[in-house]
Amino acid sequence: QAKEAGRNGWRRYEPGMGDRAAARRGMERDLRQALCEGGFALHYQPIFRNRSGALVGFEALLRWNLPDGRTVSPTDFIPLAEEIGLMPEIGAWVLREACRTAAGWPDHLSVAVNVSPTQLRSAAFLGSVEAALARTGLPASRLELEITETAILENRDTARDLLGRLRALGTLLALDDFGTGYSSLSFVHSFPLSRIKIDRSFVRELSENPQSTAIVRAVVGLARGLGLAVTAEGVETEAQRRLLAEEADLDIQGFLTGRPMPAGHLAAFLDASGGRATAA
């Protein structure tokens, strides 16, 4: 009954239908309910070492499952969850859930978890990382936290200290969507990062636009000089995969080698792939 009302309320007040305040209240209520009643789920997208085809881990990606079976994409609800202050709590759930799942994988596989700007700002964040690791027994070295430039810039005063503490715990730190923000070489250098993820907008244009190839080459050079690992996001075609392999031995993630899948599909995926990229 309650779920039914929540769903209808949310549909009735969809943005663009007039009463934005009511729409927000409806969606806010539904988000809180989802957090209490198991309405969130994580999907996992495989990441492979490009040249060898070896599976290296998965990125955990948040989904909101509505009672009627529809799935809401994170880009459609995370901004509101941020605004209403729910992201630290949702993020703590994501951390626990991702670490719990990854603890059951073969030892060499890591899990990447996205961290939002308000999470990074939250005083409870470091504690929620420690708690997730302690509760699940996942070694810190198998957890990679993905942070965007924006999140770092919005928390400039505290970010360096916090990231230093996270590295001291043993977690890895990746700069997500690299190239879409304002990062300069010195910016990247001044934070204790372990990886750069090249945004998929550059990968998409690889075969058509020589400038994209130049950008990828420059990022790989920068990363190598700073001792950072590199992942290329959004690899969709064999041509893109091959061009990347010619540049360097990076990690790749994209629809070509695997879409995000529900946790329940992972065992069969690991069995079937034998830990190798089928497309590579």
Kindly list the residues in this chain that would bind Mg ion in the complex (CB under 5 A).
114, 146, 176-177, 233
206 DSSP 8-state letter: T
- Dihedral angle computed from the Cα positions of residues 151, 152, 154 and 160, in that order, rounded to the nearest 10 degrees: 140
Asked if 122 is part of the footprint of ligand C2E (rule: CB under 6 A), the reply reads no
Select from 26-34, 70-78, 163-171, 265-273 the region that touches ligand C2E (CB under 6 A): 70-78
- Per partner kind, with CB cut-offs from 5 to 8 A, the member of Mg ion, ligand C2E, none near residue 213 is none
- Per partner kind, with CB cut-offs from 5 to 8 A, the member of Mg ion, ligand C2E, none near residue 149 is none
Asked if 250 is part of the footprint of ligand C2E (rule: CB under 6 A), the reply reads no
Token digits of residue 84: 């209403």
Asked if 88 is part of the footprint of ligand C2E (rule: CB under 6 A), the reply reads no
| Min dist. Cβ of residue 254 to ligand C2E (A) | 3
For 32, 87, 111, 255, the CA distances from 172, given in Å and listed in that order, are 30, 21, 10, 24
- Category of 227 on φ-ψ map: left (φ > 0), alpha (ψ -120 to 50) or beta: left
| Min dist. Cβ of residue 19 to ligand C2E (A) | 27
Secondary structure of residue 8 in the 3-state scheme: helix
Select from 69-77, 100-108, 152-160, 218-226 the region that touches ligand C2E (CB under 6 A): 69-77
Asked if 236 is part of the footprint of ligand C2E (rule: CB under 6 A), the reply reads yes
> Is the CB of 39 or the CB of 74 nearer to Mg ion?
74
> Is the CB of 9 or the CB of 263 nearer to ligand C2E?
263
Q: At 98, which amino acid appears?
A: A
Select from 4-12, 27-35, 184-192, 247-255 the region that touches ligand C2E (CB under 6 A): 247-255
Concatenated DSSP letters of 11-56: HHT-TTSS-HHHHHHHHHHHHHHHHHTT-EEEEEEEEEETTT-BEE
Asked if 73 is part of the footprint of ligand C2E (rule: CB under 6 A), the reply reads yes
Q: Which of 278, 275, 257 is nearest to 266 (CA)?
A: 275
Task: Collect all residues with Cβ–Cβ distance below 8 Å to 105 and sequence separation of at least 6.
Answer: 58, 111, 266, 270
Angstrom distance (rounded) from CA 131 to CA 2 = 32
Select from 20-28, 129-137, 207-215, 250-258 the region that touches ligand C2E (CB under 6 A): 250-258
> From the list 27, 62, 147, 173, which residue makes contact with ligand C2E (rule: CB under 6 A)?
62
Asked if 177 is part of the footprint of ligand C2E (rule: CB under 6 A), the reply reads yes
Footprint of ligand C2E on this chain (CB under 6 A)?
Answer: 45, 61-62, 73-75, 78, 91, 94, 114-116, 146, 176-177, 200, 233-236, 253-255, 260
